Amino acid sequence: MRCEELRRELDETGEITSPAARDHLAACADCARAVALWEEARATLRELDQESTPPFLHARVMANLRAAERERLAPRRPWRLAARSVAALAAVLAISFAGWIVWRVAPETPVPVEVPTAPRAGERAPEPEPVTLPPPLPEVPPAPATVSPPRAPSTRPAPAALREAAAPAEEAMPRSEAEAKPAAVAEPPATPVALGTAADGAVPPPARPSLSRRATPERETAEGTRAARARAARQPGGEALTMAARSAAATRSGEVACTLFAGTGEPPRTLTLPEPLAPAPGSEIGFTLLPDGELRFDEPLPEGSEPGALAERLRRLALSPGDYRLRRDG
């Protein structure tokens, strides 16, 4: 027998039993030493199973088992699940009821009304920034526009506000149509102003939306639009310019821009009305809104008017009781 065969027998059986292996061991010192070491190691392995264990092992195992058993045998407490279900259902019902109450109590959505910011009396207008406008397009004849602000005195022109005034009209129609319309819708000029005459305090006509858009690059973005609106609102007379632009836009859309002045000290409101409901040019309609919601006109409306429809339209503004005057813009 060779050494490899003896080692293989040792690995497979764990001991030397065959006579050939014993004969080899008597002659081979290396194999004898390897077998002796293995037998010692095997005995040591058997001794490892006799090692003592931690003294608390049994108590720990049994405590763990009893705890697990107590947890398993603990009552399920089904009332907890029922209570949670009832609480969740009550919460859902409460939220639904609150939503229903809010829906019932909430007033009808009023007609959106833009409220321009009126300049303070006696406030001096700052010097406007010099604006260089390109020459007018050849196909657009210069059409002067008339601006008649409701209360604000004539102030220096505000080019940004002018551009703002023309913006809604341009958004409502194609450019070619927008460029062709202004002359037709412009009212007869009460105080004709010329473009570029900023020094005389006149207001340029809002008749060139396309030009104004080309004049200022910032108008290309929505932020530029908001900035222009903000500037227009800040400048004295800006509300008048905005009102003029709104009047032009309303006229193009078949309605008439009007301003509602409140006797209660509230700022004037601007609204658009159909032509049959609006006051005649240059006239006003006075009315009183009673606390019970009744609306009484100060004077009988002229022939062809529709007082009922106008009253209904005015009621939808959610006005507070008081005296009002409705004036036609432009």
Instruction: Give the footprint of other proteins on this chain (CB under 8 A).
Output: 7-8, 10-12, 14, 34, 37-38, 40-42, 44-49, 51-54, 57-58, 60-62, 64-65, 68-69
∠ CA(155), CA(265), CA(243), 5° rounding?
A: 40
* Residue 89 beta carbon to other proteins: minimum distance, rounded to whole angstroms: 37
Run of H or E including 190: none
* Residue 17 beta carbon to other proteins: minimum distance, rounded to whole angstroms: 15
* Residue 47 beta carbon to other proteins: minimum distance, rounded to whole angstroms: 7
| CA atoms of 117 and 242, how far apart (whole Å) | 10
- Cβ(210)–Cβ(175) below 8 Å: yes
* Of residues 28 and 215, the one with the C-beta less far from other proteins: 28
For residue 103, give the amino acid letter. W
Residue 213's CB is within 10 A of a number of other CB atoms, namely 17
* Of residues 12 and 139, the one with the C-beta less far from other proteins: 12
* Of residues 46 and 104, the one with the C-beta less far from other proteins: 46
* Residue 7 beta carbon to other proteins: minimum distance, rounded to whole angstroms: 7
Run of H or E including 295: strand 295-297
DSSP 278: S
∠ CA(25), CA(26), CA(29), 5° rounding?
A: 65
| CA atoms of 98 and 104, how far apart (whole Å) | 10
* Residue 25 beta carbon to other proteins: minimum distance, rounded to whole angstroms: 15
* Of residues 55 and 107, the one with the C-beta less far from other proteins: 55
DSSP3 helix / strand / coil % (the chain, rounded to 5): 50, 10, 40
* Of residues 64 and 191, the one with the C-beta less far from other proteins: 64
* Of residues 11 and 275, the one with the C-beta less far from other proteins: 11
* Residue 28 beta carbon to other proteins: minimum distance, rounded to whole angstroms: 15
Q: Residue 238 has which token pair?
A: 């800006």
* Of residues 11 and 108, the one with the C-beta less far from other proteins: 11
* Residue 37 beta carbon to other proteins: minimum distance, rounded to whole angstroms: 6
- In angstroms and rounded to an integer, the radius of gyration of the C-alpha atoms of the chain is 48
Burial category of 185 from C-beta neighbours within 10 Å (exposed 0-12, middle 13-18, buried 19 and up) = middle
